[in-house]
Chain A
Amino acid sequence: MSPPVLAVTDLNVEFASRSGPVRVLRDLSFNVAPGETLALVGESGCGKSMTALAIIGLPPPRVRIVSGSITLDGQELVGANARTLSDVRGDRISMIFQDPMTALNPVFPVGEQIAEVLRAHRGLTRCQAMDRALDALKAVEIPDAEHRLRQYPHELSGGMRQRVMIAMAVACEPRLLIADEPTTALDVTVQAQVFDLLRDLRRRTGMSLILITHDMGAVAELADSAVVMYAGRAVESAPVDELLHSPRHPYTRGLIGCIPDIDTDATVALTEIPGMVPALSDIGPGCAFADRCTLARDECRTRLPPTIERDRGHAVACWNV
C-alpha cells in the first residue's frame, strides 16, 4: 500500500477557557490514502471542523495542539513554522468552507481572487495567473467563464460561488482538499452538482479529499471511508459500505437511524438519540456518549473505552461491542 497523503496520529487539542483547559480533540488518529475520500462525521461541536483547522495550521485563538502529529507526505506539520505552513496552505492542502459568500472577498472580481493564489504559490505574473484562473473556472464547469472571471461574488448564485471557491482551492492542484460542509448552504439540486464536481475533480487530479459533514447521506454519496466523531473523539471508523451496513457504535447506529429516508415507514417512530451533546468541559472519565446511550452500564461511565480494531479497517470505541 502506498504511504498515506495525510497521517494524523494521537492528536490532542486544547482550548484555554476561563475556567481551565478543555480538551476539544482527544487521541484522534486517521490516515488519508492518495485519491481517497475520508469523511469526518458528527454533530455540531464534535470537533470535526477543529480537526480541519488543526490540519491547515489555523487553530482559533486560545486553541493549541497539546500533543500528536500531523504529517503531509511524511512532512511534520505540528510545530512547523509559520512560513512553512503558509507555503503548504493553498498549495498542497486547500480548504473550502460552508458559506462561499463569507469566504470570498466581496470587493474583488473572482478571477483576481483565484489569480492571487497562483501568484503567491507559483510566482506567476498577473497575466499568466489570470490565464490559469480562467482554466480553473473552466475546470469547475462554470459556463461563460471569460465573463464570470470579471464578476464580483455578489453577482453569482450560491452554487456558482461554491464553484469559484473550489476553483480557487484546486488551482494549485493540491494533494489534499478539505471540504467543510461544502453544500450545507446550497439547494439540494445544486448540492448534487457540487458533489458531481468534487467526484469528477478527484478522478481527474487524483487528489485526496476530507469531507466534513453531519449528513450520513453525503457520506454515502461521496466518501470511501468515514470517522464518526463524538465530543472530540473518534468513536468509530470504517470503510463507508461497512459503516452503513453494520455500524457498531450505538451513536453511529443512532445517526443512521434518525434520518427519515424516502422509503422510511412513516408509521414507525424515528430512532431518537435522547438528550443532547454534553459540554466538553463536563465530560467525565468514561465514555462521553454514556448519558445518551441506551446500552450504557456502570463501566461506561467510569472507564474510557479503548479504540479497538474489530475487522480490517473497522475500529470502534465502545465497551458494548
Chain B
Amino acid sequence: MSQENQFFLKVENLSIHYPLRAAGLFSEPRVLRAVDDISFEVAQGTSFGIVGESGSGKSTTVAAIMRLVDITAGRIMFDGAALHTLAGESLRVFRRRLQIIFQDPYSSLNPRARLGEIVRDPLDIQKIGTDRERDARVMELLELVGFRPEARHAFPHQFSGGQRQRVGIARALATNPELVVCDEPVSALDVAIQAQILNLLKRLQRERGLTFIFISHDLGVVRYMCDHAAVMYLGKIVESGTTARLFSNPAHPYTKALLAARPSIHARERPVTDKVRAIGDPPSPIDIPPGCRFASRCPFAERRCLDHAPELHMIEEGHRVACHLAM
C-alpha cells in the first residue's frame, strides 16, 4: 500500500477559531476556539469515528473537511491533495469525491423536491453522464437503499424518518464518492430504525470500499461502525486509538466518564463504584483557561492539570491520550 493509501485523509494541526465581539468597548476581543490544533489520519476503506458531546468541535471538524467552513490554521490532505487550498472549479470537481450524510433527515431534504430530483441533484451539479444515464443512476441508487422505482415521484413528507435518511444516503452516494462523512446519521431516528440504517451503511461500505468519517455521541454506535476513533472535548482530541482498545482500556478520565455515563442494557451488571462521573457541565468554549480543558470537570484533577495543558502522547501502539495522569 502506498503512502497516500495509508493515509487517505490526513488532518494536520487543524484549528478553527471564530473571533467574537469584545465584551466591552475597551476589552480584548474574544475568540471561540471551536477546533484547536488537532491532527488525525484515516486510512482508505476504513471508518474513523469522532466522539464528543455538544460543543466538542466534532461537527466543525467535518465541516472543514467538507470545505463548508474556513480553517484558521493547519492542513487537510486528501489523497495527496491539499484540500484546504482548493478553490473554484477545482474544488467543485473535487467535491464529487467527498459527500456528507446529515443528522436530520427532515431539514436536510428539500420539501418541495421529489425524491428523484433530490438524488439527481449532485449528478446535475457535477455534470455526470447524459440525461438518460442520470435517470438510470437515480433508479439504481434508490433501489440500492431499498426504494421501489416509483418512489422517485414522491415527496419527502410522504416518508418516515428512516426512509428519508435512506434518501440522504442515496444522494450522498450519487457521485460515487470515496469519502463519506456521516454526521450523527442515526441520532434523529427511532431505535428500531437505527439498526436498519447502520446495517445499510456497513453493507455499502463493504461493497464499495468507502471511507467513512463517522460522527456520533453514542459510543456503542462508534464501536460498532468504526475501526479507529478520536474522542474530542472542547476543540481538542483527548484520546485516540483503535475502537477496540479505546473502549476496552480507556485512559483519559473523560473517555472513562463517557463510557460510564452511557446508559447500557448491561448497567445492572456493572458495579456502581466503577463509574467515573464528569462533574458539572462543560464550560464555555470562549476564553478557555490554560491547562487541561477537562480539569474543571475531572474527578482526578491535580494542580498541574490546571496549569499545563497535557500533550497527546502514545501510551501503547496506536493509542494516544492527552492526560498528565495517563502513563
Residues of chain A at the chain B interface (Cβ within 8 Å): 43-44, 143, 157-160, 187-193, 195-196, 214-221, 240-241, 244, 254-264, 266, 269-274, 276-277
Contacts and interface: CB of A to CB of B under 8 A. Distances in A.
Given A258-B194, A273-B192, A221 B224 contact: no
Interface residues of B, number: 44
Interface in B268-284: 268, 275, 277-278, 280-282
B14 interface: no
Given A260-B223, A271-B195, A189 B263 contact: no
B261 A192 contact: yes
Interface string B154-177: 000000101100000000000000
Interface stretch (B103-111, B196-204, B303-311, B315-323): B196-204
B28 interface: no
Nearest to A192: B261
Q: Which 3 pairs show the lowest CB-CB distances between chains A and B?
A: A217-B263, A192-B261, A260-B224
B191 interface: yes
B191 A214 contact: yes
A296 B102 CA distance: 35
24 contacts: A187-B282, A188-B261, A188-B262, A189-B277, A189-B278, A190-B53, A190-B281, A192-B260, A217-B267, A220-B264, A244-B268, A257-B195, A258-B194, A259-B191, A259-B220, A260-B220, A262-B223, A264-B220, A270-B195, A270-B224, A272-B199, A273-B192, A273-B196, A274-B196
Nearest to A196: B277
B244 to A, nearest CB: 9
Give the secondary structure class of B's interface: helix
B286 interface: no
Contacts of A217: 262-265, 267
B66 interface: no
A218 B191 contact: no
A220 B261 contact: no
B142 interface: no
Contact of B263 (A220, A241, A260): A220
A256 B224 contact: no
B195 A189 contact: no
A262 B191 contact: no
A220 B268 contact: yes
Contacts of B196: 272-274
Contacts of B191: 43, 214-216, 255, 258-259
A263 B219 CA distance: 10
Interface string B248-264: 00000000011111111
B224 A192 contact: no
A257 B195 CA distance: 9
B267 A191 contact: no
A270 B278 CA distance: 30
Contacts of B243: 266
B192 A262 contact: no
Nearest to A160: B281
A254 B196 CA distance: 12
A42 to B, nearest CB: 9
A193 B192 contact: no
B257 A189 contact: yes
A192 B247 contact: no
Contacts of A159: 281
B219 A256 contact: no
B221 interface: yes
Contact of A262 (B54, B163, B220, B277): B220
B198 A270 contact: yes
B268 A273 contact: no
A260 B224 CA distance: 6
B281 A262 contact: no
